[in-house]
Amino acid sequence: MIKNTDIFLREHGIKPSYQRKRIYEYLNEHRIHPTANDIYTALVGEIPTLSKATVYNTMNLFARCGLVDVIPIEGHEARFDPHPEAPHAHFRCTCCQKVYDVPLSFPEEAIEEALSQCQIDTFNINFTGVCKECLARNEA
């Protein structure tokens, strides 16, 4: 598995340092759309010298190389999403602050029609509200 991360990073032109490997593995193992601080907090126990600067630099590198998306969702911190094959939306629960993936996409034609003649590079769809779990907990 570690070997795979190595190869994967190299394939994307990223030199696989220990920090970069562990950050990438964390992203893949914890699909919670973590903030930079989440990543730092999770890994600093294991890599005591880790600095937030490295986390930020690494995430920017990953984003530049197309390994992760930065998802602009309400709230002051950026959240990162390992680049998924299938386009999907995000739902942020304003109660527990978790960000969920939502399998939802536009019909191509609708986009074509609304944005004809424009070059579309990225798109993202965000919902906010209260998730099932929080609704249930609050009703109890």
Partner DNA sequence: GTCTCTGCAAATCGTTTGCAATGCT
Partner DNA sequence: AGCATTGCAAACGATTTGCAGAGAC
Chain residues binding DNA by CB under 7 A are 14-15, 17-20, 35-37, 47, 49-54, 56-58, 60, 76-78
Mark residues 107-136: x for contact with a copy of itself by CB under 8 A, - for none. ---xx--xx-xxxxxxxxxxxxxxxx--x-
Distance CA(90)–CA(84), nearest Å, equals 12
Q: How far is the CB of 33 from DNA (least distance, A)?
A: 12
Decide: 80 and 90 in contact? Cβ < 8 Å: no
Decide: 81 and 69 in contact? Cβ < 8 Å: yes
From the list a copy of itself, DNA, none, pick the one residue 115 interacts with, judged by a Cβ distance below 5 to 8 Å according to partner type. a copy of itself
Half-sphere exposure of 115 (CA within 13 A, CB side): 12
| Contact pick of 103, 108, 109, 140 for a copy of itself (by CB under 8 A) | 103
Nearer to a copy of itself by Cβ, of 1 and 140: the residue is 140
What is the gyration radius of the CA atoms in the chain, in angstroms?
17
DSSP H or E segment with residue 101: strand 99-102
Interaction site with a copy of itself (CB under 8 A): 70, 72-75, 89, 91, 93-94, 102-104, 106, 110-111, 114-115, 117-132, 135
